[in-house]
Copies of this chain bind each other. A is one copy, B any other.
Amino acid sequence: MRKMIPVKDVNVTDAFWRDRMELVREVVIPYQEEILNDRVEGQEPSHAIRNFRIAAGLEDGEYYGMVFQDSDVAKWLEAAAYSLAVYPDPDLEARVDEVIAVIAKAQQSDGYLNTYYTVKEPGKRWTNLREHHELYCAGHMIEAAVAYYEAVGKRQLLDVMCRMADHIDSQFGPEEDKRQGYPGHEEIELALVKLYRVTGEKRYLQLADYFVRQRGQQPHYFEEEARQRGEKDITLTHGLWDHSYTQSHLPVLEQTTAEGHAVRAVYLYSGMVDVAMETASDDLLETCRTLWQNVTKQRMFITGGIGSQGYGEAFTVDYDLPNDTAYTETCAAIGLVFWAKRMLQVDLHGSYGDVMERALFNNVLSGISWDGRRFFYVNPLEVRPDVAAYRQDHRHVETERQGWFGCACCPPNVARLLASLGQYIYTQNDEEVSVDLFVGSEARFTVQNEVVQLRQETQYPWDGTVRLQLQLDEPLAFQLAVRIPSWCRRPELAINGELVELPKVTEKGYACLRRSWSDGDTVELQLPMQPERVYAHPAVSENAGRTALMRGPVVYCLEEVDNGSQLRDVQCPLDAAIAEETGIGDWPQAIALTFDGFRTRFPANALYAMGQLELEAVPVKAVPYFLWGNRQPGEMLVWLRQG
C-alpha cells in the first residue's frame, strides 16, 4: 500500500492546470460562496447556508432545497480548505470559520447534524436511508473537516464531525439495539476512513467496514425500513428503484458488474478500497479489481465518462455506450478519479493512472467552462441541439453549460477536485515514489525518514516532454516509478541524460527506476504526441464504422462553429494526414487537429437515394473535447465517420 500526498505538500506550478486551479480559487470558490448564500441573481436559490442558520436557531424560516443540500456547503468548505492549504488567504479563512461556527451551532446535543431532519422532519431521523441522504451529507462534511484540519490545523469542524461520527456509530452496527443499515448514496465509507486516518479512532474504520459489508445483505435493510414506513411496494423490483440503483442488489463481495447510479457506484468502490487498505482485506480488493475490469473494459466512454443512461443516472449493459444520450455526469468522472487513485495506492499499474488521466483531461475538465462560470452536469459525446430540444430521451442533455443547477452537485465537486489536484500526481511509501500524472509541480516526500523533493516540469497535455529533478540532502536508495501512458507509441526515458532501455524496466505500465538517487538527478521522459485514430470494440454498436481522434490523453471532437452542422456526415478518410494547428480561439497554446475530409452530395428533394453518392472535399477541424461549447452553441461530435 502506498499513500496519497497531502495537498499542502504539493505545489502545482503547471501552466495548464495552474490556470484552472487559480480559476477555482479566484472565481469558482467565491462564486459558489455567493450561490450558497443566495446572493446571485437569476440563479436557482441554494438556501444551503440559511438551512444551517435556521437549524442553529440563528434565523427563522423553513428548510428549502434537496434533501442533500447540506453537502453543497460541505463540498465548498472542502474546496476552500484545499485552496487554503496552498494559498493562505486570511479573509477566506475567516469566512470559513464563520460558516463552521454556524454548523457547530446547528449540531444537536447528541451529536446529530443534518439540517433537513432538524428543521423539516424532526423525529424522523434515519427512517429513509435509501432515498434521503443523512449519511451522505455527513460523509461530505467529514471530508471537509479533515481537509480543513489538514490545511490550517483548526479542529472545530473536525471535533463537530467526530461527535457526529460517534453518534452515527451509536446508531448503526451489527448489535441488536442498532440499525443494520447503510447509506442509499455511498460517500460516508471513504470519509470515515479519512477520519480514522487523521484521528486514529478505530471505531470509524470499523463503521466504514460495516457499511461496506452490510450493503445488500438479506433481509434487505431498505425493504425493512420501507415496511416500517408503511410502504406497500417494499421490494422495488422495478424501474429506477431496483436495488441495483443503490448497489445493494447483492452483498458487495458477490458483485461482478458495475450497476446502478454511477456516482454512487464509484464512491462505494472508492470506500471499499480504502477499507481494504486499512484492514488488509483481499476479498474487497479482488472485488474492486473485478469491477474495475468491468467498468473500464466494458462500460466506460472514451472520455472517461461513466453512466450510459439518464434514467437512474446509471450503468446499463456491457458495451452500451450511446454517445448522444449518455449521462456521463461530471461527478461520476470525478468519482472514477477517486477510485483510480485508490486502486493505484494498492497496485502500481498503469491502467489506473491511464484512466485517471483520461477522465481528468476529458470528462472532468469538460464539466466547467473555460471562464469557470458555467457547468455541464452531463457530458455526452455528441450533441445535436435540435434533436436534444425535442426528444424526450434527450431531456437530461444540456446543449450548453448552465450557470448553476437546482441539484448542484457537480460544480462544487469540480472545485474540490481541482483545488486538491496536487494529491493525485504522486503516490508513495517508504520504498517508492510514483509519478502518476504529468503535472508541473514541486512536491515533498518523506522516504525512509529523509526529505525528498521532486520538481516536475512539462507542457502537458500539449507537449509530452516531462522533466523530473530530485532534491535530497544525502543520496538515498528508493524506487522512482514513472507512468508510461498506454497512448504513447514510442516513449523514451533518460536518467541524467542517459537513455534507459524502457522495455527492460517497465512493469505494468510504469518505468521502475530503482537506484541510489542523488541531489540534482534528473529524469527526462519523452512521450511523443501525435494525432491518433482510436477505435472502439466492435460490440460498441454506436461506434461501428467510426473513429475518435486523440492526441496524448486528450480526446478531440468536431464543433459546428468550425465545421458546420450535420457532423455525422463528415468523413475522416483512413489515409487522411492529420495535421496539428496551434491556437484555438482564445487559447493560444491549445492544439487543434485538421484534415481533408469529405461530405456527401445528395440529390435535391430526396430523403432516400439509390446507388453510389458523390463526395465533396471539405476541410475539417477538431478541437479538444474539454474545450467544446466555449465559443458558440451548436452540434458537437466525438466519434467521426470513417471515410
Q: Determine if A607 and B316 form an interchain contact, defined as CB atoms under 8 angstroms apart.
A: no
How many whole Å from A570's CB to the nearest CB in chain B?
Answer: 8
Let me know if A172 is at the binding interface, CB within 8 A. no
Let me know if A522 is at the binding interface, CB within 8 A. no
Q: Which of A518-544 contact B (CB under 8 A)?
A: 532-542, 544
How many whole Å from A631's CB to the nearest CB in chain B?
Answer: 22
Q: Which of A290-327 contact B (CB under 8 A)?
A: 296-298, 300, 302, 308-312, 316-317, 320, 325
Q: Determine if B608 and A534 form an interchain contact, defined as CB atoms under 8 angstroms apart.
A: yes
From B311, B384, B574, B602, A393 is in contact (CB under 8 Å) with: B311
Contact with B along A437-475 (1 / 0, CB 8 A): 000000000000000000000000000000000000000
Let me know if A109 is at the binding interface, CB within 8 A. no
Instruction: Name which of A311, A539, A544 has the most chain B CB atoms within 10 A of its CB.
Output: A544
Let me know if A487 is at the binding interface, CB within 8 A. yes
Let me know if A392 is at the binding interface, CB within 8 A. yes
| Distance between Cα atoms of A568 and B319 in the complex (Å) | 13
How many whole Å from A139's CB to the nearest CB in chain B?
Answer: 29
From B391, B536, B542, B566, A316 is in contact (CB under 8 Å) with: B391
Q: Considering the complex of A and B, which 6 residue pairs feature the smallest CB-CB distances, nearest first?
A: A311-B392, A393-B393, A538-B569, A541-B568, A544-B568, A545-B641
| Distance between Cα atoms of A309 and B608 in the complex (Å) | 20
Q: Which residues of B contact A311 (CB under 8 A)?
A: 391-393
A599-B545 in contact given A316-B390, A392-B309 (Cβ < 8 Å): no
Q: What are 10 of the A-B contact pairs (CB < 8 Å)? A: A316-B390, A320-B387, A532-B610, A532-B611, A534-B608, A535-B609, A535-B610, A537-B602, A544-B600, A545-B546
Q: Determine if A606 and B537 form an interchain contact, defined as CB atoms under 8 angstroms apart.
A: yes
Let me know if A413 is at the binding interface, CB within 8 A. no
Q: Which residues of B contact A610 (CB under 8 A)?
A: 487, 489, 532-535, 550
Q: Which residues of B contact A546 (CB under 8 A)?
A: 545
Q: Determine if B566 and A391 form an interchain contact, defined as CB atoms under 8 angstroms apart.
A: no
Q: Determine if A607 and B541 form an interchain contact, defined as CB atoms under 8 angstroms apart.
A: no
How many whole Å from A291's CB to the nearest CB in chain B?
Answer: 15
Q: Which secondary structure dominates chain A's binding surface? A: mixed
Q: Which residues of B contact A392 (CB under 8 A)?
A: 239, 309-312
| Distance between Cα atoms of A538 and B635 in the complex (Å) | 15
From B390, B536, B642, A320 is in contact (CB under 8 Å) with: B390
| Distance between Cα atoms of A267 and B312 in the complex (Å) | 37
Let me know if A613 is at the binding interface, CB within 8 A. yes
**Closest B residue by C-beta to A612:** B574
Q: Determine if A387 and B317 form an interchain contact, defined as CB atoms under 8 angstroms apart.
A: yes
From B316, B393, B534, A609 is in contact (CB under 8 Å) with: B534
Q: Which residues of B contact A309 (CB under 8 A)?
A: 391-393
A600-B391 in contact given A297-B607, A611-B533 (Cβ < 8 Å): no
| Distance between Cα atoms of A533 and B533 in the complex (Å) | 28
Q: Which residues of B contact A363 (CB under 8 A)?
A: none
Let me know if A110 is at the binding interface, CB within 8 A. no
How many whole Å from A161's CB to the nearest CB in chain B?
Answer: 38
How many copies the complex holds: the figure is: 2
From B297, B316, B391, B607, A606 is in contact (CB under 8 Å) with: B297
Q: Which residues of B contact A600 (CB under 8 A)?
A: 535, 538, 544
Let me know if A571 is at the binding interface, CB within 8 A. yes
Q: Which residues of B contact A539 (CB under 8 A)?
A: 566, 569
Q: Which of A353-407 contact B (CB under 8 A)?
A: 384, 386-387, 390-393
Q: Which residues of B contact A487 (CB under 8 A)?
A: 610
**Closest B residue by C-beta to A392:** B311
Let me know if A516 is at the binding interface, CB within 8 A. no
Q: Determine if B536 and A608 form an interchain contact, defined as CB atoms under 8 angstroms apart.
A: yes
| Distance between Cα atoms of A392 and B311 in the complex (Å) | 6
Q: Determine if B297 and A537 form an interchain contact, defined as CB atoms under 8 angstroms apart.
A: no
Q: Which residues of B contact A541 (CB under 8 A)?
A: 384, 566-569
Contact with B along A630-643 (1 / 0, CB 8 A): 00000000000110
| Distance between Cα atoms of A67 and B310 in the complex (Å) | 32
Q: Which of A600-620 contact B (CB under 8 A)?
A: 600, 602, 605-613
Q: Which residues of B contact A568 (CB under 8 A)?
A: 541-542, 544-545
Given A300-B607, A534-B608, A541-B567, list of 9 further CB < 8 A pairs?
A239-B392, A298-B607, A316-B387, A534-B610, A535-B600, A537-B608, A538-B599, A541-B566, A545-B568
**Closest B residue by C-beta to A599:** B538
| Distance between Cα atoms of A602 and B537 in the complex (Å) | 6
From B317, B384, B574, B613, A535 is in contact (CB under 8 Å) with: B613
| Distance between Cα atoms of A391 and B316 in the complex (Å) | 7
Q: Which of A569-590 contact B (CB under 8 A)?
A: 569, 571, 574
**Closest B residue by C-beta to A315:** B390
A535-B608 in contact given A309-B392, A316-B387, A546-B545 (Cβ < 8 Å): yes
| Distance between Cα atoms of A393 and B534 in the complex (Å) | 28
Instruction: Name which of A296, A568, A613 has the most chain B CB atoms within 10 A of its CB.
Output: A568
| Distance between Cα atoms of A611 and B531 in the complex (Å) | 10
| Distance between Cα atoms of A605 and B537 in the complex (Å) | 9
**Closest B residue by C-beta to A643:** B545
